[in-house]
Amino acid sequence: MRIRSFDYWEAPSLDKALTELEISGSDAKVIAGGTDLVLNMKKKKILPSRVISLHNLKELDFVRTQDSEVRIGALTRHADIAADPLLKTHLPILCEAVGLIGSWQIRNVGTIGGNICNASPAADSVPPLMVLGAQLIVASKTAEKKISLDSFFSGPGETVLETGQILKEIIIELPKQRSAGCYLKLRRRKAVDISLAGVAFQAETTTDERRLARVAIALGGVAPTPIRVPQAEAILTGLSVDEAMTKISDCARIAAQAASPIDDVRASASYRRTIVDVFLHQSAQKVLRKLKNGGGS
């Protein structure tokens, strides 16, 4: 399958990449691992005249903690995130979700920044990042700004990124109290598939560990973009774990109503909606049980 001709430039640094991007304007496309972009260029869905490669920018390939935050460079590959000891300890939901992306081959090349910026409604990294309250650092030649992941997507394949901007890093504030999370993904076989519906559920206890201080729910693959479901979160927030257990059905029903899935070759809208309900039950139960039994991190 042919990729149409384009000009290619490999950026030696983020700074130079930003300069170049500003000059090239909207004709240029930034490539990280390329697992989505190359595929889309082969399918003629994206036809850039110029490609700026960030592939070798080591400065954006990192996972580190700083104070109470975890920072992940946008060019960190899925396989590295899935295996990162720090993340596995503090944010296992993210490692598990990213470990479900594509094949091992894809995870060895694809980056978390690419997964986010590609803006697939079904991107596996996004619902967990959303429930973790991730913030994005977006850089341009002139400024850097912080954007909440929740408000980053504007439609399928569309983000609020403007010409000249590059996603630089992802910041996640570490939960202060005991917390647990779970991501469940609907697939058509037991490995290597696009998410047909994904549910991320994260809960954090109060200081005295008696109540749920924060509940976050995000859905993937069931709306034009990944979404948070505040109405469903509100049902459980502030409750004791035992009380929350009794309200899971209400929470799941509301989350399923919040979804606006489509019918396509992969699944029907109604099946996707059903699965949101089912997975919300399962993930919430798993998380709440863990917290009740003194688990989580």
Partner 1 sequence: MRVPIHIIVNGEEYHLEVKPNRVLLDVLREDLGLIGTKKGCGLGKCGACTILLDGRPIHSCLLLAAQANRREITTIEGIAAEEPHPLQAAFVEKGAVQCGFCTPGMINAAKALLDANPDPDEAEIKLAIAGNLCRCTGYNQIVSAIQSCTPSTSDRPAAARGESNE
Partner 2 sequence: MSELDRELDIVGKSYPQIDGMQKAMGKTKFVTDLVLPGMLYGRTLRSPYPHANIQNIDTSRARALTGVKAVVTYADTPGIKFGPRSEDWTIFAGDKARFYGDEVAAVAAIDEDTAEEALELIKVEYEALPFVTDPLEAMQPGAQLVHDDKPANIAAEFKVEAGDVDRAFDDSHIIYEERYYTNQVYQAYMEPMAALAEVDLSGRITLWTGTQIPNMMRMTYAKALGISPDNIRVIVPDYGGAFGAKMENNIHLVAAILAQKAQKPVKLVNTRHDDFIAGNPRVPMYIDIKLGATQAGVLTAKEVTVVGSAGARLVYSMVIVATACYRVDSLYRFQHVRSKGYTVYTNTVPTACFRGFGNSQMTFVLESALDMIADQLNMDPAELRIKNGIGPNETSIHGWKITSSGLKDCVIQATEKADWQKKRQQKEPLKGIGLACCNHVSGNRPFAREFDGGAGIVRVGRDGRVTVYHGESDMGQGQKTTFAQIAAERLGVPLEMVHVADVDTDISPFGLGSFATRGTLMGGNGVLAAAKDAFRQLAKIAAEILEARVEDIECRQGKFFVDGSPERSLPFREVAAQATFARHGAPVVGTGFYKPPTVLPDPDTKYGNISPAYPFACQIAEVEVDPNTGQVSVTNFVAAHDVGRAINPMATEGQIRGGITQGLGWTLMENMAYENGEIINPDFVDYIVPSALDVPDIKPILVEPVEPNGPYGAKGIGEPALNPTMAAITNAIYNATGVRVKKLPVSPEKLLSELKKKEAAD
- Which 218-247 positions form the footprint of partner 2 (CB under 8 A)? none
Q: Interface with partner 2 includes 266 (CB under 8 A)?
A: yes
State how far the Cα of 134 lies from the Cα of 132, in Å rounded to an integer: 6
Task: Please say whether the beta carbons of 86 and 97 come within 8 A.
Answer: no
Q: Interface with partner 1 includes 45 (CB under 8 A)?
A: no
Window contacting partner 1 (CB under 8 A); options: 3-11, 214-222, 226-234, 283-291: 3-11
Question: Binding partner 1 by CB under 8 A: which of 11, 30, 31, 255?
Answer: 31
Task: Please say whether the beta carbons of 125 and 96 come within 8 A.
Answer: no
User: Which of residues 245 and 278 has its CB atom nearest to partner 2 in the complex?
Assistant: 278
| From the list partner 1, partner 2, none, partner contacted by residue 6 (C-beta under 5 to 8 A by kind) | partner 1
Query: From the CB of 250, what's the least distance to partner 2, in Å?
Result: 18
* Best CA proximity match to 121, nearest among 159, 79, 162, 72: 159
Contacts of 31 (CB under 8 A, 6+ apart): 37, 38, 51, 52, 53, 54, 55
User: Which of residues 19 and 285 has its CB atom nearest to partner 2 in the complex?
Assistant: 285
User: Containing H/E element for 166?
Assistant: strand 166-173
Task: Please say whether the beta carbons of 202 and 130 come within 8 A.
Answer: no
* String of contacts with partner 2 for each residue 167-186, x by CB under 8 A: -------------------x
Task: Please say whether the beta carbons of 184 and 215 come within 8 A.
Answer: no
User: Which of residues 77 and 266 has its CB atom nearest to partner 2 in the complex?
Assistant: 266
Total residues at interface with partner 2 (CB under 8 A)? 20
Contacts of 136 (CB under 8 A, 6+ apart): 116, 146, 147, 148, 149, 152, 167, 169, 170, 171
Q: Interface with partner 1 includes 5 (CB under 8 A)?
A: yes
Question: Binding partner 2 by CB under 8 A: which of 46, 171, 262, 278?
Answer: 278
Q: Which residues bind partner 2 (CB under 8 A)?
A: 1-2, 186, 188-194, 265-268, 271, 274-275, 278, 281-282
